[in-house]
Amino acid sequence: MRYEQGVPRPRFRPHLSLLAVALTGLAAPVAHADEDTPVPALHRPEVAEVTVEGANKTTSSTVRSFGQLDVGDEVDSEELEKVERRLLATGLFQDVHVSTEPLPDGRVRLVLRVKDKASWVVAPTVALSSANTGGGLLYAENNLGGRAKKLAVAAQVSTGESGVYVGFLDPILFGLPQLKFSLEGQLRSDRVDEYSPDASQDDPEILRRTRMNSASLSSELGFILFERVRAAAKYRLSSIDAQAPDPKKPVTLQAFSTGPSLRDTSLRFMVGLDSRQTLHAVTEGLNLEGSYEVSVPGVWSEFRYRKFGILYRQGLRFFSEHNLVLRGELAVGKDLPFHQELVMGGTTLRGFQYRQFRGDTRLTFTAEYHFPLFKVKSLAFRGVGFSDTGAIAWRDLPSDGILFDARGRNIRGYLPESYSPEQPAVTVAQGVGAGLRLYLNNVVLPLLGVDVAYGVNSGQLRFYLVAGVTPS
């Protein structure tokens, strides 16, 4: 099957061959009822050599590694289709066509024809949402050295969070698609606003504002088995420092102790099933995974907390280029310090202020329906309708409203409103809306996204704009 601009061409040959075999099998008993004639098996020729054509930047060995079909393997039309999808799903190529050529000895030559995308981009990063406005600059290389390695460097200044980010990803470590390795570093300054937990407020009041500064370095090693089973281990090392709360806000008691910075390290394990593939802005497949993160002195941390998570993601294709994308997540934390709390609002719950809701237990579900509008050469305009729903709560707060670490330092001073009997135990909020997405078929990164969201609880309209790619 050949893909051009996201529209798959009809493929009849595999179905016709299967139909011919089925008809042969049905006819044989009728014509030769007195004979036990075996049904001939489908011929699967052996691959004698693999050639790569059309790749200007991507190395032949990288294309072959992603194709996962090599000399000595047997091939048929179904296997060729799988190779095409694997190559398109990398995001490196505008167009892919996989075919075979017969050789005199009965074997075949496997031909991988690809057309590279522009692999690097320098782009602005813009955040325009409630309580977080700003921008910066991003450099991203999606095919470093022609070997599919990815490098991103970004700097951003915004009202909510500012900093510098550097990230590196090798999706085929040692040339093996089964191994992934990533390394990330970040310097960050967050303005953390805490609001009243009431979701029906038209203009939520900021009760406390705290500046949190951090530096972090993390590395992850991932394993892929049978193309779908994924497991990963991630180690993160960070330094956390808090400033005194803004004296102009109603609450001036500390949310996190000021003074010497604290070392926060954690070890995270993930395992799951992932069959998703993104083919020209349309995502198909299912992802289910569970995760466990722990921070204790045994991993060189000055904190003690845990996080558990269950994640569900699925993409369904309709009418060739229509896409229903679903995402659900359950996250549960235990003894979370201020900087590790679960949040909702902004891009994670459109229709509400950025990080408006906080807790240690969160359940979210998002449904998005993407559909094509029109195309101008390689530029595709796509619309999206969405619904974001979330529930967040505190399960068990200290009676005095302060969570201390083993050394007696305050790692979380809760707002009185968080555990007031007048407030609901669980905050439930929903936002619905629509947006626009722009994609360039020959570039690895989307250009622009804009959303208009209506907060069902508050009745407020909010706008969200992302240009380029945000470091987060």
Check: CB of residue 281 under 8 Å from CB of residue 437: yes
H/E stretch holding 213 reads strand 206-225
Check: CB of residue 344 under 8 Å from CB of residue 351: no
Q: Which residues lie closer than 8 Å to 358 by C-beta, 6 or more apart?
A: 194, 197, 341, 342, 343, 392, 418
Taking residues 382-410, what's their average pLDDT? 91
Q: What is the CATH number of domain 3-116?
A: 3.10.20.310
Token pair 């709560």: residue: 393
Taking residues 429-449, what's their average pLDDT? 82
Name the more confident of 112 and 28. 112
Q: Which residues lie closer than 8 Å to 106 by C-beta, 6 or more apart?
A: 45
Residue 418 has pLDDT above 70, yes or no: yes
Per-residue DSSP letter, 349:
B
Confidence (pLDDT) at 25: 36
The tens digit of pLDDT for each residue in 228-267 reads 999 999 999 999 999 999 999 999 999 999 988 999 999 9
CATH of 120-467, one of 3.30.70.20, 3.40.1160.10, 2.40.160.50, 1.10.20.140: 2.40.160.50
Check: CB of residue 119 under 8 Å from CB of residue 108: no
Domain ranges in the chain?
A: 3-116, 120-467
The tens digit of pLDDT for each residue in 97-130 reads 999 999 999 999 999 999 998 888 887 877 776 6
Hey, which bits of 85-173 come out as E strands? 93-102, 108-116, 120-129, 132-144, 149-158, 161-170
